[in-house]
Structure 1
Amino acid sequence: MRTEVASFVAMGPLPDWDTSEELISYRQAQLEAILPPVTDEEAATLTECFGPDDCYGLAWSLVHLIETSPTPAITTKPRPDANEWRYTLWLRAVNGGLIAEGDI
């Protein structure tokens, strides 16, 4: 795993909207330092970095980065209590024809 990915993951999930502007800017810079494409291993690890909301769009940037991996990071329907971003990744892979639909 590349250093940039490990550093991003080490900071934990993205913060919510109530966090400081400085922390959001720092996390944005960390995310932008990860050059695509990511490996399957990196993508799987990055799926654990979603926070409770879209963090001023950073969650969408993370979705797009994860989707640069060779294969979908989420291949089975997430549990009902899973983070909404994991569900988003799964649904986008289904809609894109990359994985079987299964039970939507």
Structure 2
Amino acid sequence: MRPEVQAFVADGPLPDWDASEEETDRRVRQLEAISRPVTAKEAKALVACFGPDDCYGVAWTLLHLIETGPNPGLTTKPAPDANEWHDRLWRRAVNVGLDPGDLTA
């Protein structure tokens, strides 16, 4: 896994709307430092970085980054009470025709 991805993942989930502007900007800079496409391993690790809300749109940037990989980073359908971003990522993958049985790659 590339150092830029490791650094982002090490900082944990995205903050919520209560985060400072500096913290949000720092996480945006981290995301921007990750070149596309990501690997399957990187996509899987990045899935754990969704926070409780959209973090002023930063979660969309993370979702689009994950989608540059060869799979959505999820191998099973999220539980009904899962993070909304996991559910959204799963639905988007299925909607474009990915076979859930093939998402383990």
Q: Counterpart in 2 of 1:60?
A: 60
Shift of 1:98: 1.1
Structure 1 gaps, min length 5? none
For 1:68-83, list aligned pairs within 5 A: 68-83=68-83
For 1:22-101, list aligned pairs within 5 A: 22-100=22-100
Give the SS at the match of 1:24. helix
Residues 51-85 of structure 1, C-alpha deviations (whole Å, 9 max, x = no match): 00000110000000000111232232101121110
Taking structure 1 as the reference length, the TM-score comes to 0.92
Distance in 2 between the 1:50 and 1:93 partners? 17
Residues 4-42 of structure 1, C-alpha deviations (whole Å, 9 max, x = no match): 000000100000001100000000000100011000000
Kindly provide the amino acid, as one letter, of the partner of residue 20 in structure 2: S
Distance in 1 between the 2:81 and 2:9 partners? 22
Kindly provide the amino acid, as one letter, of the partner of residue 78 in structure 1: P
Structure 2 gaps, min length 5? 101-105
Q: Which has the larger displacement, 67-76 or 41-50?
A: 67-76
Give the ranges of 4+ consecutive aligned residues of structure 1 lying more than 6 Å apart after TM superposition.
none
Q: Which has the larger displacement, 70-79 or 29-38?
A: 70-79
Q: Counterpart in 1 of 2:12?
A: 12
RMSD across aligned positions (CA)? 1.3
